[in-house]
């Protein structure tokens, strides 16, 4: 019943967030940031595309926390959670395309067939690889369901590492491959609840501590303060793209009025995945002139989104009448 609205809303909110942020950065960033190398096509256009590609993903954890705390239930809640899962996938696709196009502009190469085929191979290859490893994990957990939790954790981490390593070796998107693996487990594993509770209990806190510690090592206060206008622009125009896209997607899919008006409120939080993608950009020598700006804009905006996101989520679910206080 919610399949069509989720597809339409995801497509429009993710892509309009990308379009809104990319356009405003193309126009405003030349007025704020001096180009370190090259001109518009070698600096400002790649910067705009890369930052805009990080506007699409949503962190559903804040909305999930609100849902659990207030026992929220209804079509707006279900739509938000479905959209938040799928717009991460769409965000990685935007990111892969932005990486390919930005690399081409920075290196001043003419548009070639490889500029189209390479990202397509990276995306579809990652999905196929993730499906294979997701199926393998589902099969193995079914065979050894009576084993101890330590064996299951070792199995999951080993398969994740193997999936990531093979993806890197064959030059497909590593994050999309592991994310696809998770999607397959979520939808097709008979032990998914057991696996998720086990991972949350033993590994979640450690992973978050390591992840945000590594992210903070790249936080440059001089760049952060000099980029505050870019952070404000990113937050505002991502907000505009998310709200207009969710409303338009809901309208076109003939969703209920509450889904059209309130779904976007749960799509504001942003967290781990965009910081991870920004760190991947930082590791690519091609994007060194842009890396500090991108990382500091993304970390700065993530702080803002993680503060205001839960407030918007709670307000949206309350207005939709799905919070039981």
- Residue 242, pLDDT score: 96
List, for residues 190-200, the tens digit of each pLDDT value.
Answer: 777 777 777 77
Residue 286 CB neighbours (<10 A): 15
List, for residues 239-248, the tens digit of each pLDDT value.
Answer: 999 999 999 9
List, for residues 236-274, the tens digit of each pLDDT value.
Answer: 999 999 999 999 999 999 999 999 999 999 999 887 788
What distance in Å separates the CA atoms of residue 96 and residue 238, rounded to the nearest whole number? 19
Top CATH class of 3-108+205-319 equals: mainly alpha
- Residue 24, pLDDT score: 96
Q: Any residues with CB less than 8 A from the CB of 69 and at least 6 apart, and which?
A: none
What distance in Å separates the CA atoms of residue 52 and residue 286, rounded to the nearest whole number? 18
- Residue 170, pLDDT score: 93
- Residue 33, pLDDT score: 85
Average pLDDT along the chain: 85
- Residue 238, pLDDT score: 97
pLDDT at 1 over 60: no
pLDDT tier at 214, thresholds 50, 70, 90: low
Among 19, 62, 52, 15, CA closest to 272: 62
Segments making up each domain of the chain, as ranges: 3-108+205-319
Comparing 16-30, 96-110, 125-139, 309-323, the range with the smallest average pLDDT is: 96-110
Task: State mean pLDDT over 226-240.
Answer: 91
pTM over 0.85? The answer is no
What distance in Å separates the CA atoms of residue 202 and residue 183, rounded to the nearest whole number? 21
What percent of the chain clears pLDDT 90, i.e. is strictly above it?
36
List, for residues 47-74, the tens digit of each pLDDT value.
Answer: 999 999 999 998 777 777 777 777 888 8
Task: State mean pLDDT over 298-316.
Answer: 87
Angle (CA) 253 75 84, round 5°: 75
What distance in Å separates the CA atoms of residue 178 and residue 25, rounded to the nearest whole number? 31
- Residue 325, pLDDT score: 59
315: exposed, middle or buried (Cβ count in 10 Å: 0-12, 13-18, 19+)? middle
């Amino acid at each position: 019943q919610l399949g069509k609205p989720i597809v339409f809303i995801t497509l429009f909110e993710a892509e309009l967030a990308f379009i809104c942020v990319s356009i405003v950065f193309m126009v405003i960033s030349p007025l704020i940031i001096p180009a370190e190398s090259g001109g518009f096509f070698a600096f400002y256009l790649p910067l705009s595309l890369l930052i805009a590609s990080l506007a699409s993903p949503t962190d559903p954890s804040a909305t999930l926390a609100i849902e659990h705390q207030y026992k929220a239930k209804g079509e707006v809640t279900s739509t938000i959670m479905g959209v938040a899962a799928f717009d991460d996938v769409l965000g990685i696709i935007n990111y892969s395309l932005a990486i390919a196009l930005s690399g081409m502009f920075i290196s001043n190469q003419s548009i070639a067939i490889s500029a189209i085929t390479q990202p397509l191979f990276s995306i579809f290859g990652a999905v196929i690889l993730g499906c294979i490893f997701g199926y393998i994990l589902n099969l193995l957990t079914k065979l050894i369901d009576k084993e101890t939790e330590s064996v299951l954790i070792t199995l999951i981490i080993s398969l994740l590492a193997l999936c990531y390593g093979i993806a890197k070796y064959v030059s497909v998107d590593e994050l999309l491959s592991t994310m696809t693996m998770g999607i397959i487990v979520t939808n097709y594993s008979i032990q998914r609840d057991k696996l998720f509770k086990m991972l949350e209990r033993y590994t979640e806190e450690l992973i978050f501590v390591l992840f945000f510690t590594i992210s903070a090592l790249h936080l440059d206060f001089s760049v952060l303060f000099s980029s505050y206008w870019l952070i404000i622009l990113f937050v505002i125009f991502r907000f505009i793209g998310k709200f207009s896209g969710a409303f338009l997607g809901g309208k076109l899919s003939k969703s209920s009025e509450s889904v059209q008006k309130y779904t976007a409120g749960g799509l504001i939080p942003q967290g781990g995945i965009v910081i991870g993608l920004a760190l991947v950009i930082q590791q690519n020598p091609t994007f060194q002139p842009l890396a500090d700006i991108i990382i500091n804009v993304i970390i700065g905006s993530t702080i803002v989104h993680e503060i205001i996101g839960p407030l918007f989520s709670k307000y949206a679910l309350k207005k939709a009448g799905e919070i039981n206080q």
